[in-house]
Chain A
Amino acid sequence: MAQTLTHADPLVVAGVELRSRLFIGTGKYPTDESMLAALEASECELVTVALRRLDLDDPKKKTILDVIDWHRFRILPNTAGCKTADEAIRIARLARSMGLSDWVKLEVIPDPRYLFPDPEETLKAARVLVDEGFKVLPYINADPVLARKLEEIGTATVMPLGSPIGSGQGIQTLEQIRIIIDQARVPVVVDAGIGAPSDAALAMELGADAVLVNTAIALASDPALMAEAIKGGVEAGRKAYLAGRIPKRAEASPSSPSEGISRPN
């Protein structure tokens, strides 16, 4: 069934059809093996990698680029660790010059406590990078006005947060995300805050096009099992969105038929 659904309901980002609506981050896994097992179990296609983390002290040490089989996954370089637009632009350009990818998950985060993205700097960096032909997937607070501005600039998606990165608080920005989805003509990817399959399902039920999950999987006791569980949440939520959920009502409506039945004497 999942196969049928994928075929009938493709996600297209920057002209590329993706086979999964679950994007996975590669930080915080206890071991490379547990990360690979989780990627496998998630059946994801898009995998995001921090460009900063590739700058290792030991050039002979394996990087994440060596560990993952990039014939099977599509790399989404991200600018995590960049505090200003200029820093993010620089490392995105460098990554692209070296042939890594022209896709970039744009993260400009000056605030270490809540890791909220800087809207001004994100917009500034997006302008430059879109202009230079990058496919930009910006990480933003769930701000419908900012989402519109980024879309108008020409970003490939918008990626509003559900709650702070790694917090596992779920979708705290539900009403704003609903508005973003309602307005958007580019895919909306809920990124950050998802702690459990139910959070992923909720985002997808709202009509998000995809979700990005890292910490909830990487720090689970069994990352591969959690990856599989969240994949299930994403699929369930997407199907529910397509199926059309019932509206919420203040009063009950009996499940059993109440009309046209014979009454006992």
Chain B
Amino acid sequence: MAIVSSAEAGLQAASRATILQLRAPAMTAAGIEREAMLLVASSPVPVLISSRCDVALACNAAGVNLPERDISTRDARTLLGERLIGRSVHSLEVALAAEREGADFVIFGPVWESSSHPHEKAAGVEALSRVAHALRIPVLAIGGVTEDRIAESGTAGAAGYAAIRLFE
């Protein structure tokens, strides 16, 4: 999963990603909507919108990825029906709760030190492995993912990975 902050960046990353997540926390809702419209219309892979269920519905996106402190997965499911709902999680407890509430997948991390979130402490591969083995839904690794670490996260049980830098 490539996490991108604009439609243009999304289209550049799309050839190397299996799914895109549009995440632009500094942008206005109107700005996110504009980028999402463009991206959904032209992306060759499914597009998720970070946090904004309203934008996901308005733009007919494949779904959302909810940050840990966003609205409940259950409420998002009520809004989004069969669209994809992912949840970013930083602990096993929250990951298990997301699964119980009907998330389609979780993104766990940061597994390694990440330059995009320098203040967050790395959870490590063992923690990733614990989450991946405790959940039935797919777990994606995030945080400091590099080409070399993709295989490592797979061995730990992750179904895939999400990244910003790797796709830039």
Contact = CB atoms under 8 A, between A and B. Distances in A.
Contact of B62 (A56, A93, A99): A93
A67 to B, nearest CB: 17
Nearest to B138: A98
Contacts, number: 58
Interface of A is mostly: loop
Contacts of B19: 93, 96-97
A99 B159 contact: yes
Given A132-B46, A133-B44, A133-B45, A94 B83 contact: no
Interface in B30-67: 43-46, 62-63
A122 B83 CA distance: 17
Contact of A90 (B18, B84, B140): B84
Given A94-B104, A132-B44, A99 B18 contact: yes
Q: How large, as a class, is the contact surface on chain B?
A: 20 to 34
Interface of A: 55-57, 59-60, 84, 86-87, 89-90, 93-94, 96-99, 102, 132-133
Given A87-B82, A98-B18, A93 B46 contact: yes
B136 A59 contact: yes
Given A55-B136, A59-B133, 17 more contacts: A60-B133, A90-B83, A90-B104, A94-B84, A94-B104, A94-B105, A94-B138, A96-B45, A96-B46, A97-B84, A97-B160, A98-B138, A98-B159, A98-B160, A99-B159, A132-B43, A133-B44
Contacts of A59: 133-136
Given A59-B136, A90-B83, A132-B62, A98 B46 contact: no
A132 B48 CA distance: 12
Interface in B1-30: 1, 18-19
14 contacts: A57-B136, A59-B134, A89-B62, A93-B84, A94-B104, A96-B18, A96-B46, A97-B46, A97-B84, A97-B105, A98-B18, A132-B43, A132-B44, A132-B45
Contacts of B1: 97
Contacts of B83: 86, 90
Contacts of A96: 18-19, 45-46
A55 B102 CA distance: 13
B81 interface: yes
A148 to B, nearest CB: 25
A126 to B, nearest CB: 15
A86 B159 CA distance: 23
A4 B81 CA distance: 51
A95 to B, nearest CB: 9
Contacts of A90: 63, 82-84, 104
Nearest to A92: B46
Contacts of B81: 86
* Most A C-beta atoms less than 10 A away, residue of B18, B43, B160: B18
A94 B140 CA distance: 12
Contacts of A89: 62, 82
A216 to B, nearest CB: 32
A59 B83 CA distance: 24
A86 B133 CA distance: 28
Contacts of B133: 59-60
